[in-house]
Amino acid sequence: MFLSDCQARLAFDLISNTWNAVVLWSLRHGPRRPADLRAEIGGISAKVLTETLRRLEFNGLVTRQAYAEAPPRVEYELTALGRSLLEPIGVLGEWAFAHADEVMAAQDEGPARKL
Amino acid sequence: MFLSDCQARLAFDLISNTWNAVVLWSLRHGPRRPADLRAEIGGISAKVLTETLRRLEFNGLVTRQAYAEAPPRVEYELTALGRSLLEPIGVLGEWAFAHADEVMAAQDEGPARKL
């Protein structure tokens, strides 16, 4: 059962933090500054965005580049590894668009029997 | 940004519980009894398996069928909706096989700078 092994768990853990997936997706067209990411994503605080970017960097999915300008400029960019995760994220996103209302309908319907 | 909307969050939440994905995957070949699922998956307690199956049922991804036999028999089966989630799970599982050691190598290397 490949899904119960350690490697698969790691992948599901990475994608399980929705912000990870959202931020990776926002970087798909190239390097971005944190302020631009915040503006595009919406609903993410500066603190949570910073934590997310550091987590992605720690996992080898993005790189951080600081430019010694005045004012200093920082950009984040997908690594090849981070780019490779766009496909699974895209497939799951497409599934969500196609099927999320079926899930919500099932939830509204409530359990067929007592939990 | 499609990923920050409610529908996508729901999909990522569903898949974020690794047991959800593991149990759905274990049901891909047809109806199974809980005891058989436990034997195949390994490392999942009866309590956690039961909770996972009820969560999947609540979300419309599996159905429960109880047979009035002696001893009583219970089976779980994927719904069409649950079956549709096999593809995203498979794509993510394949990514894990191809890339998980790169992630682990990045983690071992440690942060390029202090977090």
pTM of the model: 0.82
- The whole-number pLDDT of residue B37 equals 94
Residue B114 is assigned to a structural domain of this protein: no
The pLDDT of residue A114 is above 80: no
Residue B66 is assigned to a structural domain of this protein: yes
- The whole-number pLDDT of residue B114 equals 46
CB of B27 closer than 8 Å to CB of B62: yes
| Contact (CB<8Å) B54/A115 | yes
Residue A10 sits in a domain whose CATH number is 1.10.10.10
Could you say which of B4, B40, B60 has the minimum Cβ distance to residue A102?
A: B60
- The whole-number pLDDT of residue B36 equals 94
Residue B115 is assigned to a structural domain of this protein: no
Q: Average pLDDT over chain B, rounded to whole?
A: 86
Q: Searching chain A, which residue's CA lies closest to the CA of residue B110?
A: A58
In chain B, the number of structural domains is 1
Q: How far apart are CA A5 and CA B41, in angstroms?
A: 10
pLDDT (tens digit, 9 = 90+) per residue, A51-97? 999 999 999 999 999 999 988 899 999 999 999 999 999 998 889 88
Residues of B in contact with A56 (CB under 8 A): none
Residue B16 is assigned to a structural domain of this protein: yes
- The whole-number pLDDT of residue B3 equals 47
CB of A29 closer than 8 Å to CB of A78: no
How close B12 comes to chain A (CA, Å)?
Answer: 6
- The whole-number pLDDT of residue A52 equals 94
Q: Searching chain B, which residue's CA lies closest to the CA of residue A8?
A: B96
| Contact (CB<8Å) B84/A95 | yes
Query: If pLDDT is split at 50, 70 and 90, which confidence band does B115 have?
Result: very low
Residue B92 is assigned to a structural domain of this protein: yes
Residue A115 is assigned to a structural domain of this protein: no
Residues of A in contact with B7 (CB under 8 A): 96-97, 100-101
Residues of B in contact with A107 (CB under 8 A): 58-60
Q: Which of A13-22, B41-50, B57-66, B93-102 has the lowest mean pLDDT?
A: A13-22
pLDDT (tens digit, 9 = 90+) per residue, B17-70? 778 888 999 999 999 999 999 998 888 899 999 999 999 999 999 999 999 988
How close B71 comes to chain A (CA, Å)?
Answer: 21
- The whole-number pLDDT of residue B6 equals 67
Q: Average pLDDT over chain A, rounded to whole?
A: 86
Could you say which of B1, B58, B102 has the minimum Cβ distance to residue A107?
A: B58
| Contact (CB<8Å) B93/A42 | no
- The whole-number pLDDT of residue B81 equals 95
DSSP string across A46-106 = HHHHHHHHHHHHHTTSEEEEEE--SS-EEEEEE-HHHHHTHHHHHHHHHHHHHHHHHHHHH
Residue A114 is assigned to a structural domain of this protein: no
Residue B9 is assigned to a structural domain of this protein: yes
Range of the domain at B93: 2-109
- The whole-number pLDDT of residue B80 equals 97
Q: Searching chain B, which residue's CA lies closest to the CA of residue A61?
A: B103
What single-letter DSSP state applies at residue B56? Answer: H
